[in-house]
C-alpha cells in the first residue's frame, strides 16, 4: 500500500467484521473437504512447510469463501500475492498476516493485534473485507481488489491477483 495514503476504517465494514468473527465453522461434508485438500495441498507444500498449518489455511479459506460466496481460488490468490502464505508477514504499511489486514481492525473489534497472525481470524477478516469491497464495486473484481490493496485507480495489484 502506498505510504502517502491514509487508511481509515469504514464503520459499515467494521460491523461486517464483527459478525464474521462470531460465525461458526462451516465444513459439513467430509468428501468436499477431502477433494479440496487433495487438490490444493500440493500447491502449498513449497510455501508452507508445516502440514497442520497447510490444513488450517485450506480449511479456513474454503469455509470463509463458502460462507461469503467468494471464489476460493480468488482468496488463495490474494493470500499468495499479499503474503506468499506467510502468516507472520508485515507490510511496509503495517498490514499483517496472510491476507495483510491493517492493524486498526482488531482494535476496532476489541481484539488484540497479535490475533492478526492467527490463521482463522486473519482469513475471516480478510475475506470479509474482500467481500465488502466486491459488494461495494458491484462484483467488479478489478475495482474491489484495488480497494482491498489501497491502490484505487491502478490495475497492477488487481491484474497480479487475477492472473494467479
- Alpha carbon 138 to chain centroid distance? 19
Phi, psi of 6 (to 5 degrees): -100, 125
Q: Which three cell numbers stand for residue 161?
A: 491477483
Burial class (CB within 10 angstroms; exposed 0-12, middle 13-18, buried 19+) of 45: exposed
> What is the C-alpha separation between 87 and 100, in angstroms, rounded?
9
Catalytic (active site) residue 64: no
Instruction: Determine how many CB atoms are found less than 10 A away from the CB of residue 112.
Output: 10
Single out the catalytic residue among 55, 56, 64, 82: 82
Question: What 8-state DSSP symbol labels residue 113?
Answer: G
CA angle 132–74–156, rounded 5-degree value: 85
Q: Are 129 and 149 in contact (CB under 8 A)?
A: no
| Residues designated catalytic | 82
Amino acid at each position: 500500500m502506498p505510504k502517502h495514503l491514509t487508511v481509515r476504517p469504514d464503520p459499515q465494514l467494521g460491523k461486517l467484521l464483527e459478525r464474521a468473527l462470531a460465525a461458526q465453522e462451516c465444513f459439513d461434508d467430509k468428501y468436499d473437504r477431502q477433494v479440496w485438500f487433495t487438490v490444493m495441498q500440493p500447491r502449498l507444500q513449497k510455501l508452507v512447510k508445516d502440514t497442520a498449518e497447510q490444513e488450517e489455511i485450506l480449511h479456513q479459506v474454503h469455509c470463509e469463501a463458502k460462507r461469503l460466496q467468494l471464489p476460493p481460488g480468488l482468496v488463495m490468490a490474494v493470500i499468495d500475492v499479499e503474503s506468499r502464505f506467510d502468516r507472520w508477514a508485515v507490510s511496509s504499511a503495517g498490514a499483517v498476516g496472510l491476507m495483510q489486514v491493517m492493524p486498526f481492525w482488531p482494535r476496532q473489534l476489541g481484539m488484540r493485534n497479535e490475533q492478526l497472525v492467527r490463521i482463522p481470524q486473519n482469513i475471516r477478516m480478510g475475506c470479509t473485507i474482500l467481500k465488502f469491497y466486491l459488494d461495494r464495486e458491484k462484483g467488479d473484481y478489478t475495482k474491489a481488489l484495488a480497494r482491498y490493496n489501497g491502490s484505487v485507480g491502478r490495475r497492477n495489484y488487481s491484474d497480479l491477483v487475477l492472473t494467479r
